[in-house]
Amino acid sequence: MLLTIEGLTKRYGTGDAALNGVDLAIPAGEVVGLIGPSGAGKSTLIRCINRLVEPTAGRVFLAGDEVTGRRDLRFMRRRMGMIFQEFALVERLTVMENVLSGRLGYVPYWRSLLRRYPAADVQRAFATLDRVGLLDHVDKRADALSGGQRQRVGIARALLQQPDILLVDEPTASLDPKTSRQIMRLICEVCAERSLAAVVNMHDVALAQMFLSRIVGLRQGRVVYDGPSNGLTPEVLTVIYGEEDWTRSAQRDDDVADEDVHGARPHGREPLAAVG
C-alpha cells in the first residue's frame, strides 16, 4: 500500500472528534474520491495526512515510512502534493515562482531566495506548465489569472514536487461546472500518466462518480462507505448524507459539450515522457 491510515483520530480544542478512528489504505496509482456532508471531516482527514493538522491519535504511513510522530516532516511533506479549493497560490508571485515553489522541499534556502533553481527543476517547471496549458502565462502574477487557470497553477505546483500522492481538497468547489470537469479530467490524467495516487475531496457526487472509480464516504468522522463509485445507491447516499430523495437529485448531464483542456493547445501533451 502506498498510503496506509490506521485509527486516525482528531479532536479540535474541546469539541467532539472531527475524525474518529479512520482506517484507509490506498495502493500506488489509485485515485480515491472522498465524499461526505459538510463537517464530516474530509478536510481534516486530508490535512492530517501531511500534518498541516496534527492528528490526536492514529498513524499514517507513506510507502512504509511513518509520517506521524517524526520530526523531519519536511522530507515527508515534499512527497505529498496538495491542491486547494481556494487555489492557495501566492498572489503576488509570478506563475513560475508559484510552480517552482513546489521544489522548496528539495532545494537549499539560498537557491529559493535568489530564485536560482537547478536547471532540471526549471525545465520541469516549463514542461509541467505546458502540460497544464499555461505556457503563455509564465511571468504573469498569480492574481492576474482566472479561477481555472489558478487551479492549473496549483496542480503544476503540486506536480513539481514529484510526489507519490496528491492530496486534493475540493479542487472544483470554486469553479463553474465546465471548468470543474476540465480540472477533474486534468487531475485524473496527470495521475494516470505518472501512476500517482490521490485523495480527492468532493462535494459533487455526480462529478466524483464521473471521474473516480473508488469512493470513500465519511460521516461524522467515520468511514461509512468504501467501494466502487457505481455502488453509490440511494441507500448508500442516505447512510452518508442522511435522508433525501436521491433518485430525483441525480441529474445526468453527460451530454453537455465540454471541450478538452487542450482543445486549443494540441502540443500540450508532447513533453510528457520527459516530465514523467
36 touches other proteins by CB under 8 A: no
Among 14, 15, 72, 114, the residue binding ligand ATP under the rule CB under 6 A is 15
What is the contact mask toward ligand ATP in residues 17 to 56, using x (rule: CB under 6 A)? -x-----------------x-xxxxxxx------------
Q: Provide the minimum distance between the beta carbon of 97 and other proteins in the complex, in angstroms, as a whole number.
A: 8
Q: Provide the minimum distance between the beta carbon of 164 and other proteins in the complex, in angstroms, as a whole number.
A: 13
Alpha-helical regions (H) of the chain: 42-49, 73-77, 95-100, 109-114, 119-131, 147-160, 177-193, 205-211, 234-241, 246-249, 272-275
**Among other proteins, Mg ion, ligand ATP, none, partner that 18 touches (CB below 5 to 8 angstroms by kind):** ligand ATP
What is the contact mask toward other proteins in residues 182 to 221, using x (rule: CB under 8 A)? ----------------------------------------
Q: Provide the minimum distance between the beta carbon of 147 and other proteins in the complex, in angstroms, as a whole number.
A: 14
> Which of helix, strand or coil describes residue 232?
coil
Q: Provide the minimum distance between the beta carbon of 26 and Mg ion in the complex, in angstroms, as a whole number.
A: 19
105 touches other proteins by CB under 8 A: yes
Quick one: angle between helices 147-160 and 119-131, nearest 10?
140
Contact predicate 56/14, CB 8 Å: no
Identity of the amino acid at 106 = Y
Give the integer Cα–Cα distance in Å for 255 and 87.
28
Identity of the amino acid at 125 = A
CB count within 10 Å of CB 143 equals 11
Footprint on this chain of other proteins (rule: CB under 8 A): 50, 52, 73-82, 84, 86-93, 97, 101-106, 109, 112-113, 154, 157, 161, 167
